[in-house]
Structure 1
């Protein structure tokens, strides 16, 4: 199990929703991955805190009657879609009433394959809509692939005649006549560096990864404040000015305590200043920074990846080649995830009223 797959198990594991086989595989991964263990502990702490806010969130007066009337009208015209919309609306109300971390954080900390119900405005009322068809997804946005951080990649397109060099985030350059599908690597022009081209298949060009030290650093800050709305605005302003990617993990109000939890992902060079600024927003209850050394895991996975690419290019059987290619891409994705995580600093900001 790769880390990007393990993250999908955090919430169902805490909710006791995993099957015995899934739970066993997940626990084996936790025994081998200190980084996932640490992140799971943060999930558990946040989940316990949110579960302590037991007061239900009341629906607005007349909401259920209006929703049922609207759904009944739509059900008469399109029965099957009406049933689906009723289920989607019930799920949305359950999220609002329960305030469960398994719903609040699952779609924010990871990319889930399961469809999620959405609510949109229509004729002045809230309408439950169908879950989007996986075959009709919108064009992919510039997000890092399955990193768990959902950090947007800033487009760095060179303007005509601007004189500026291309940015590092531009798409890989494709060499003319190489099949249109393989990026040019630093060593692609050197003799003896091209993989052997097999009949009936394009060679798999390995992505270059530097075998350097890899450390993933995270900081968690818990702060109590008097004016949580004003503090939220200040926190978001600080994060935006530092270029951080912003995710809302939870935003709760049980009538007694208001609580909001953010996840900021920022370049390591900006992390110290952002942590210092956030620490001035109120009374700091706790603050701790942890660093996980992923160097050994990265190096071992890099060796597996390079060996797997060699097997792909040596495979003569098409079915075997496809299987090996899939395995190589999975290893490449894991290395890419670690590479991005170790370039950035994760900050969990926990705000709550006194």
Structure 2
């Protein structure tokens, strides 16, 4: 049985840990400041992982979740901070601290939960860690399941136990996947590589479908812009769809014999004009072209004439690196403004598998649908 802590705990009701792509840390902070003007920097725990003080962590996390920010990937409350000795005894210390957290009551019989531990600031001069993240996760999950009769369920938990450990401290919190913005540690969604995989870009589409809750049609015609070498096309073909892949470069030879694939070896602008003239319509358009986000938005606005009334788009927007004179956020805002002239933007997100880019999902607004 887990023993309760007796000593007085620190008041950590106002601490949260935010995880972002390091390149977009400034943009992420601007998003958070719009939600809570009282947010304050406390500590940079690792590249892209920052501890902040806010007015009220639980209220703040819920407000962030409702507003669905673009650049903040993951949030976790730091409801207690435990000093680590880097010995096996740390497991017991952490377990006891968890039992005192305000969210511990969420763990009841049959509740699905996941323990998500992350290690940062490893320092060999301070010695070796006595356990891995996997060992920590397993030990705590077993103890919590025995104590509460909750069920460990990593893929779709109802409650998440978050732990971020430096060499000297462990930051603990209990929350829901919705409050965390992701059910994966740090928002890092990983997919297994397969023998059929054409490119790592496939992970971007897989993550987009999952994060945005998109269900592909059972049948239909999809336009894949910037298709080469064919990773997105492969996934769409695998889903039973007819794919028009547009790219001047060649596709992976394994795709060339698929009768459901048509490869247009040319530029997207030319294909779209031909499709408009021939009145070819698509159920969805996906885009991963290497071009300025604003130019991509203009091209997609033209492509709206090729989209069925109930169709949608999933587009990656490439952004420039920030410099003294270049603001990637301004570039994105302009691209979204252009896109909004033809589409209703559903959500924009800087996904884990995105790099210097964001992914946008949008559909035709009723006012602009073709009659």
What interval of TM-score do these two structures reach, taking the shorter chain for normalisation?
A: under 0.3
Q: Which has the higher contact order (CA 8 A, sep 6+)?
A: 1
Higher helix share: 1
Higher strand share: 2
Q: TM-score, normalized by length of structure 2?
A: 0.19
Q: TM-score, normalized by length of structure 1?
A: 0.19
